[in-house]
Structure 1
Amino acid sequence: MPEHYLGIDTGGTFTDFAYLHKDQLITYKRLSTPAAPEEAILAGIEQLGLVNLCQAGELTIIHGTTVATNAALEGKGVKTAYICNKGLGDILELGRQDRASLYQLMPSKARIALSPEAIFEINVRRSAKGELSEPLTTDRLEDLKTRIEAFGPEAAAINLLHSYLNPTEEMAIADYLGPEIFVSQSSKILPEMGEYERGVATYLNASLGPLVAHYLKRLAAAVAPSQLAIMQSSGLTLAASQAATQSVRLLLSGPAGGLIGTQNVLQAGKIMTFDMGGTSTDVSLIDEDLRVSQSLTLGGLPIPIPAIDIETIGAGGGSIATIDPGGLLQVGPESAGADPGPACYGQGGSKPTVTDANVVLGRLPTGHRLAGDLVLHVDLARAAVSELGAHLNLSMEETALGIILLANERMAEALRRISIQRGYDPTDFSLCCFGGAGGLHLCDLCDLLDIKRALVPAEAGIFSALGMLVARPGRERSQGIHQRREDCSDELIAKHLKDLIKVSRQELAEEGVVETEHQAFLDIRYLGQTQTLSVAYQQDLILACDQFEQQHKALYGHRLDAPTEIVSVRVRVTGAARLTQVDEALSASSGRTKSEGLTDGSITIQKSALAVGQPCPGPMIVIDPHTTIWVAEGWQIQRLATNHLELTRLGDRC
């Protein structure tokens, strides 16, 4: 059994590495290579001296990738045919009638832009009970295939009404199209009711599938015979060979690692997190346990795939500051990325970013190297910020501070959405930051939210990569049943659960995972509602329905005198965690760079110079190998025995 583990998180700006062997932890950060993400990964493996281990098959790699995420957000999937029932070709264009901004005069709605040529209707139909009312004939199949061949797609998405009850026609179409193109069937991707959401998930899986498959094939071949596992949005991992056909489950692959790390490494009760990297910031809330949602939203599109509850905004260290049409300063969502990067990187970037603003304000020591050999150029940062300030009639320092304040407010608003808007009081939580840029904004965000305690975990700069080391292999599967409570039974649910668990265990067995455990859930709603609530199922339908009513009362303040429906059955099957000794390795880790002296009157020290249990007041800059923490005036910082950093506010704010 391999004893060498490597977690890799590929972001839009940096690629992070966490290598663990027994109690030895080695970390590394380098610039990403967006055009070919595997190049940065292979260069990192070489830099860490792991090539021989990799070639000997002794390295287990767990990888979080943004290939699917970026392609989905940028609309850069492959040419895809969308196959549906006759008369339903406009479903993805129409979407649902609800919209986020109800009173906006000119509302914009996220849609999948399909040309009429990409939509292929076929005259076949099953009823809401799964009964065949319009059969699929050979002539219709032949006609469909001829039309699709003339279109020449790389992929096809098949989304037929009520296929979750009987997938026969979808399977027949997939077989008829043959292996020449990548095919996604809605009955396999999401066997649940809701043709629009099912169609979105199936189309994205098809259009992203070839891109993800080609990337993972290249990477798997390069690291063979070592094992390669991929992080899913749900926080569980699956083998790269299986991930190639499940690209829609990888949309929050990278951010999930940090949340898994927070839960397993910090083991704290109430924490809000923000993962600030170079391109974006991901925020989440942990109330004793991670919340796994049954859907996620990406680019405004609802995607009903299990995912750790994360909200992403386009505000990272590389977010570009510009002037909007009204003449006001704005930050993001456009990012300088890894190439050319912020102006201070000295790689040709000329637009001012959040990182440049931090350099101008002296919060990033200019003698400190980022990602190994990346030297910060204060003169280039000053020039970029000054040029923007000239258009705003502001000084360089005022412009830099304005950039920071706007970025902070965008992140604080995201944190309010996941807390206050859901009935949580931010003051009851600690704020935990990770990602390379998070520590520079931690105190400011705490002040905006009136939070008095903050945490910076050990190895915060590569924490998502570290979290992947403790992630469990597993699967989440569901099956729509759509039964009223009085028509449903524990026996029927048990039958569906047995089938779902069997398939999940078979897939895990292919990865070498034999011992598993499972949790079962039911999606329940009141008759006439469109949304469901997921409750744990312990072989007692009556108890589950009672829990649904209690949960509904807690969330919405009332119960309804109406029948309940069991909409779907879900199961989460997991294997054992690969590692349990991460805590010991983190406690032993320490800083590996030299002290930089003083910066603008603020003390600048290495994290390793902080004595355990001895608070140090700000203002000061604390340097960790892959992140920098700005301790503002009115705050103090101390290193804990676990090697995490704790920040506390001194007294009450005025």
Structure 2
Amino acid sequence: MSSVSDKRRRAPVLIGVDTGGTFTDLVLWRDERLHHCKVLSTPHDPSEAIVQGMEKLNVKDRPVLMVHGTTVATNAVLEGKGAEVAYVTSQGFADVLALGRQQRTEIYALEQPAGPAPVAAQHCFEISTRAAHDGSLLARASDDELAQLAASVNALEVDAVAVNLLYAWLCPEEEQRLARMLPDSLFVSLASEVLPEIREYERGIATWLNASVGPVMSRYLRRLQKALPEAAISVLRSAGTTVAAAQAARHGVSLLLSGPAGGIAAARLLAEVTGRERMLTLDMGGTSTDVALLNGTIPLTQNSQIAGWPLTISSVDIHTIGAGGGSMARVDEGGMLLVGPESAGADPGPACYGRGGAAVTVTDANLVLGRLPADTLLGGYMPLDQPAAMAAMTRLGAQLGMDPIETAEGVLRVANEHMARALRVMSVERGHDPQDYDLVCFGGAGGLHACELAELMGMQRIV
């Protein structure tokens, strides 16, 4: 009997992990039962929250098959905390990333806002290797030239190198030859592997993004694997598929929409089970809200953006806004109530978390209005501080000349309008009538706003 129980203890269990900006959720399938655990995220090291959750579920030292949706790569790009990158390209093309496509982001502005170049000019290098449009070599860098380049790159304080030679996808051997000359300590991202297709600017951006997030993901996944040596970890990719952790770090650019992809994949399964294929999904977390439109399949695109950069890697087709349960409310200089995009995060979090935070958030508004009962335990263990939420709402209301109840209602109206606008972007602005679709709300805060959003959109069914 004991041998049977020992075997069951050693049998791998399936666990899904979603790391968000505010909470980390773990869902475990064990002994024909579903178990769930929610812990506060640990932005300084997201693996810490995962380990805490595993301990709560009592599976930290058991063999597990883990599928992990993560925002580590996303946040590295959005917050500008990616690795320092050197960029190598064909002679005459070092300025391509800085020049871009010369598109006017603000059509009527006389002076266009100019963001920083992705790679500093002193970190851009050219080599004489040049291929023609058919892949034939017109010029080939000598070994001495490549050795000198490798020495120059090694002298810089960079963690990664992005290599994007013209027409490289037709003759990848030249990029591979250069990679072999570079120091082993550097993360090397090759355009011929990241995005083997035409258009040197978009290919270069994808290669740079991959180089920027690669070392970050490598360090994170190594820490996670070290903390959970018994776990076989797969990471969710932007297109809704999974990849083993060892390969995930090599192709970090494919993980930039890893977090939202899990919800879209689940919605597609829900459509299959219910037979309701037309869905508008709203994934409302603590920091942001992701909206997608489904017609029976996972919607994919190769024409998205992240932090203003073109993202031509296959990914779920979503629209993201900075509105979530932790979105902070404030009054601007003109006396207007604003909500988001700044978030209170997990630490100290909203006022109602009782962790020293003073910011009024959407979660505080839901608590003040009784939509979240005062005795609610977030994740089954974390009590909410209703008096702290009321005090913070009273302070905000004083700036507006409103009582705390009116202020809380105003916060929710503004937040709901933001989300309704996002739903219209994915439906009305693409020629779809929202009334023909079911509203599917998920994420930690989605259910609290489902009814108002359905009413604003004229939708008849909520799943």
TM-score normalised by structure 2 residue count: 0.93
1:305 pairs with 2:305: no
1:158 pairs with 2:194: no
Structure 1 distance, partners of 2:125, 2:248, is 27
Structure 2 partner of 1:27: 36
Structure 1 partner of 2:343: 335
Specify whether residues 325 and 142 from structure 1 end up closer, same or farther in structure 2 by C-alpha distance, changes over 3 A only: farther
Which one is further off, 217-226 or 364-373? 217-226
Aligned counterpart in structure 2 of residue 42 of structure 1, from 41, 47, 51: 51
Structure 2 distance, partners of 1:91, 1:387, is 51
Structure 1 distance, partners of 2:173, 2:198, is 16
- Asked if the contact 1:343–1:380 (Cα under 8 Å) also holds between the matched residues in 2, the reply is yes
Structure 2 partner of 1:617: none
Q: Deviations over 1:569-618 (max 9, x none)?
A: xxxxxxxxxxxxxxxxxxxxxxxxxxxxxxxxxxxxxxxxxxxxxxxxxx
Structure 2 partner of 1:97: 102
Give, in angstroms, the shift of residue 442 of structure 1.
Answer: 0.7
Specify whether residues 309 and 109 from structure 1 end up closer, same or farther in structure 2 by C-alpha distance, changes over 3 A only: farther
Q: Deviations over 1:234-253 (max 9, x none)?
A: 11001111111111111111
Structure 2 distance, partners of 1:73, 1:227, is 29
Structure 2 distance, partners of 1:365, 1:29, is 18
1:349 pairs with 2:354: no
- Asked if the contact 2:278–2:296 (Cα under 8 Å) also holds between the matched residues in 1, the reply is yes
Give, in angstroms, the shift of residue 362 of structure 1.
Answer: 1.7
Structure 2 partner of 1:15: 24
Structure 1 distance, partners of 2:360, 2:296, is 39
SS at match of 2:141: coil
Structure 2 distance, partners of 1:328, 1:113, is 35
- Asked if the contact 1:62–1:231 (Cα under 8 Å) also holds between the matched residues in 2, the reply is yes
Q: Which amino acid aligns with 1:412?
A: A
Give, in angstroms, the shift of residue 84 of structure 1.
Answer: 1.5
Give, in angstroms, the shift of residue 266 of structure 1.
Answer: 4.2
Specify whether residues 349 and 138 from structure 1 end up closer, same or farther in structure 2 by C-alpha distance, changes over 3 A only: same
Structure 2 partner of 1:568: none
Structure 2 distance, partners of 1:306, 1:112, is 24
1:214 pairs with 2:219: yes
Aligned counterpart in structure 2 of residue 294 of structure 1, from 302, 307, 311: 302
Q: Which amino acid aligns with 2:418?
A: R
Give, in angstroms, the shift of residue 22 of structure 1.
Answer: 4.9
Structure 2 partner of 1:390: 398
Structure 2: 5+ residue stretches without partners: 1-9
Structure 1 distance, partners of 2:425, 2:343, is 23
Task: After TM superposition, list the pairs within 5 Å mapping 1:170-185 onto structure 2.
Answer: 170-185=175-190
Q: Deviations over 1:84-122 (max 9, x none)?
A: 222222222221233454334554466644322221222
- Asked if the contact 1:110–1:301 (Cα under 8 Å) also holds between the matched residues in 2, the reply is no
- Asked if the contact 1:99–1:109 (Cα under 8 Å) also holds between the matched residues in 2, the reply is no
Give, in angstroms, the shift of residue 322 of structure 1.
Answer: 2.1
Higher Cα radius of gyration: 1
Structure 1 partner of 2:83: 78
- Asked if the contact 2:154–2:183 (Cα under 8 Å) also holds between the matched residues in 1, the reply is no
Which one is further off, 388-397 or 269-278? 388-397
Aligned counterpart in structure 2 of residue 202 of structure 1, from 198, 204, 207: 207
Specify whether residues 105 and 367 from structure 1 end up closer, same or farther in structure 2 by C-alpha distance, changes over 3 A only: farther
Structure 2 distance, partners of 1:168, 1:150, is 25
Give, in angstroms, the shift of residue 143 of structure 1.
Answer: 2.3
Structure 2 distance, partners of 1:346, 1:292, is 41
Structure 1 partner of 2:378: 370
Structure 1 distance, partners of 2:163, 2:169, is 12
Structure 1 partner of 2:432: 424
Give, in angstroms, the shift of residue 39 of structure 1.
Answer: 0.8
- Asked if the contact 1:31–1:371 (Cα under 8 Å) also holds between the matched residues in 2, the reply is no
TM-score normalised by structure 1 residue count: 0.67
Specify whether residues 120 and 324 from structure 1 end up closer, same or farther in structure 2 by C-alpha distance, changes over 3 A only: farther
Aligned counterpart in structure 2 of residue 279 of structure 1, from 256, 269, 287: 287
Structure 1 partner of 2:253: 248
Aligned counterpart in structure 2 of residue 60 of structure 1, from 56, 59, 65: 65
CA RMSD of aligned residues (A): 1.7
